[in-house]
A and B are shown apart, each in its own frame.
Chain A
Amino acid sequence: MQLFILGSLITPGIGLIFWTGVVFLLLFGILTKFAWKPILNAIKTREKNISDALASAEGALNDMRELRANNEKILAQARSERDALLKEARETKDSIIAEAKSKAQAEADRIMSSAREQIINEKNAAVADLKVQVASLSIEIAEKILKSELANDDKQKTLVNSLMKDVNLN
């Protein structure tokens, strides 16, 4: 019995062969036209897009790298130029300052010396003036004193005495 049934298991039925053939061919035709071709084309296009995008990204990256290298070079150049400029400026500044200092010193010295000279002159003039005034004052005072002192004898005597003392002290 088992063998008999096994026989029906491994005997292909004409009906199913027929229907499988028909259905498979129809299915293949329909799916190929309306599903596989659009899907495969879409996947292919997408893959192409992706690989293109990757390639262009790679290109852009390279460009970026080049650009960055250029930028760095320019930057380095700019930096060195700036350093040079700064150095120059510093030197100029130093020299200007030094010059100004020396000039100022010289000027100051000159002013000082002229001031000193003037002071001395002024002082001398003042001293001379003072001397003249003191002399006139002294004469005036002396005149007044003499007038008052010489008003009476006692006073004349005292004056003479005091004058004498002063003279002595001198």
Chain B
Amino acid sequence: MQPKSKNTLILKQMASKIKTFTRNTSVSFLFFALLFLASPVYRASEPAEGSHAPTADTTKKKKVNMAEIAIEHVLDSHSWHLWGDEHPVSLPLPVILKTASGFVSFSSGEFHHDIHGKVVVEKGGQRFVNFEEDIFYASETPNEHGQYLVMETDAKGKMHPSNEKPLDFSITKNVAQLFFSALVLILLFTSIAKAYKKTGVTSAPKGKQSFFEPLIVFVRDEIAKSNIGGGKHEKYVPYLLTVFFLILLNNVLGLIPISANLTGNIAFTFVLATITFIVTSFSANKNYWGHIFLPPAPKALYPILIPLEVLGIFTKPFALMIRLFANMTAGHIIVISLVGLIFTFETLLVSPIAVGFALFIDVLECLVALLQAYIFTLLTALFIGSAMVEHHHEESHDGEHATAKH
């Protein structure tokens, strides 16, 4: 326990140093930016010590913490944390639970920022605790760490609660940002639509209109039209536009330090990919299904080919889901890890490098935000287009001609 408490001491010293820095008005902008980025790390690092103190391997503790913090940072939460640690300021969000005896809802503020299962909220004769942003039914009595949970060690030697969980339909940070972004998109694009109605089509676009019109035309022409052939692209343009702008807005919002990482959440990308899968399947023509269930190959190969082709239907949207999720999450983890270097090395001297690289990655993320929105929309259009291709053979024949010419 000796080195552990020493580490804790150093961390506490670090924390107090940082606090004095924040109180100083003469703090440079760079430091301010650093602290702003670092504050969630600091917030998360302290309680982690409490919850893992009994079992954590003291020599590996710091490393484990950093990875945990980074991943915690990109996950969802039940309240919108703004700043602060000992006196955290956060927006409470509604918790909505589907329990065995119906729906229960209360404010996440009732957990009093606890995410270690120590604060019990009693509603409708049922008791709940928040453990690492998962809501569990609370145990009758606390365990030895004051948690109203029964902790179990799994096969990998990790502890997790064995309590039952209600279905969680809470308005979490991600859901709140989703609502917010949907509202922004509706207000923005209906006002643009009004501008078209007001000025008519005879005048040139102005303001917002002139900024978004090229994007809309780009999605229509370069994404929809060029991938969905035969003049059938028009009915898919609204879907592609909605997907594009929803992802783009949330990718960009995700870059703001206190915001939610919605597009880097697999549930979000899962739903979008599923909708793309459904749209693709319902737009598919005879050729598409024919190619899957009656592939142009000897019948003897069917037992191998058909399962492969059927698998192919699912791998495409699956890749779509993973691509967006992984890209956005990876960007966030890289930034938090770079800032975390300061805490890993326990010196502020590393901050110029950490902040420099974090800034570089942030700028790169701005590009990635646009790129991933584009790629998701492009691939969606491509999948829909490929499910609607007529005369498959003729086209490949043409392709051969084209390559022969080259």
Instruction: Give residues in A with beta carbon < 8 Å to B.
Output: 1-6, 8-21, 23-24, 26-28, 30-32, 34-40, 42-43, 45-46, 49
Question: Are the C-beta atoms of A4 and B158 separated by less than 8 Å?
Answer: yes
Instruction: Bits for B380-394, please: 1 = Cβ < 8 Å to A, else 0.
Output: 000000000000000
Q: Which stretch (B100-108, B251-259, B262-270, B309-317) binds chain A? A: B262-270
Write the residues of chain B forming the contact surface with A, with a CB cutoff of 8 angstroms: 52, 64, 67-68, 71-72, 74-76, 96, 132, 134, 154, 156, 158, 160, 167-172, 174-175, 178-179, 182, 185-186, 189-190, 192-193, 196-197, 201-202, 213, 216-217, 220, 234, 237-239, 241-242, 246, 265-268, 270-272, 275, 325, 329
Contact at A36–B241, with CB atoms within 8 Å? Answer: yes
* Chain B, residue nearest A21 (CB): B271
Other-chain residue from A5, A15, A30, A42 in contact with B196 (beta carbon distance below 8 A): A42
A-side interface mostly: helix
Known A17-B267, A49-B201; further 20 A-B contacts with Cβ < 8 A: A1-B68, A2-B68, A3-B158, A4-B156, A4-B158, A11-B266, A12-B270, A15-B175, A16-B174, A16-B175, A23-B179, A31-B241, A32-B238, A34-B186, A35-B193, A38-B197, A39-B196, A40-B216, A43-B201, A43-B217
Among A10, A12, A37, find the residue whose CB has the most chain B CB atoms closer than 10 A: A12
**Of A5, A39, A45, which one neighbours B189 at CB under 8 angstroms?**
A39
Smallest beta-carbon distance A11→chain B, Å: 7
Contact sample, A vs B, 8 pairs, CB 8 Å cutoff:
A9-B71, A13-B76, A16-B175, A32-B242, A34-B186, A35-B186, A39-B189, A42-B197
Number of A-B residue pairs with CB-CB distance less than 8 Å in the complex they form:
145
CB nearest to B60 among chain A residues: A1
In the complex the two chains form, is B156's CB within 8 Å of A3's CB? yes
Cα A40 to Cα B192 with chains together (Å): 11
How far is A164 from B201 in the complex, measured between Cα atoms in Å?
A: 136
CB pair B193–A27 under 8 Å, yes or no, is no
> Please, which residue of chain B has its CB at the minimum distance from the CB of A12?
B267
Within 8 Å CB of A37, what residues of B?
238
- Of A2, A21, A36, the contact of B238 (CB 8 Å cutoff): A36
Identify the closest chain A residue to B201 (Cβ).
A46
Contacts of B201 in A (CB 8 A): 42-43, 45-46, 49
Q: Are B189 and A35 in contact (CB under 8 A)?
A: yes
Distance to closest chain A CB from B269 (angstroms)? 9
Q: Once the chains are docked, how many angstroms separate the CA of A26 from the CA of B242? A: 11
List A contacts of B75 (CB < 8 A): 8-9
The interface residues of chain B lying within 8 Å CB-to-CB of A24 are 242, 246, 271-272, 275
Determine how close the nearest CB of chain B comes to the CB of A46; give it in whole angstroms.
4
Q: Identify the interface centre among A6, A43, A49: most chain B CB within 10 Å of its CB.
A: A43
- Asked whether B266 lies within 8 Å of A19 as measured between CB atoms, the reply is no
B192 touches A5 (CB 8 A): no
Q: For residue B196, which residue of chain A has the nearest CB? A: A42
A15 to B216, CA, bound (A): 31
Q: How far is the CA of A63 from the CA of B96 in the complex (A)?
A: 72
Across-interface contacts of A3 in B (CB, < 8 A): 156, 158
Complex Cα spacing A21 to B134, Å: 21
Q: A24-B272, A27-B182, A39-B216 are in contact. Are A13 and B189 (CB under 8 A)?
A: no
In angstroms, Cα B340 to Cα A85, docked, is 100
A26 to B181, CA, bound (A): 13
Neighbouring A residues of B196 by C-beta, 8 Å: 38-39, 42-43
Task: Give the shortest distance, in Å, between B48 (CB) and chain A (any CB).
Answer: 10
For residue B241, which residues in chain A have a CB less than 8 angstroms away from its CB? 31, 36
Cβ–Cβ contact A5 & B71, under 8 A = yes
Quote the shortest CB–CB distance from B71 to chain A (angstroms).
5
Q: Across the two chains, which residue of chain A brings its CB closest to B69?
A: A5
Cα-based distance from A11 to B132 in the complex (angstroms): 14
User: Who on chain A is nearest to B272 by CB?
Assistant: A24
Among B76, B169, B185, B329, contact of A27 (Cβ-Cβ < 8 Å): B185
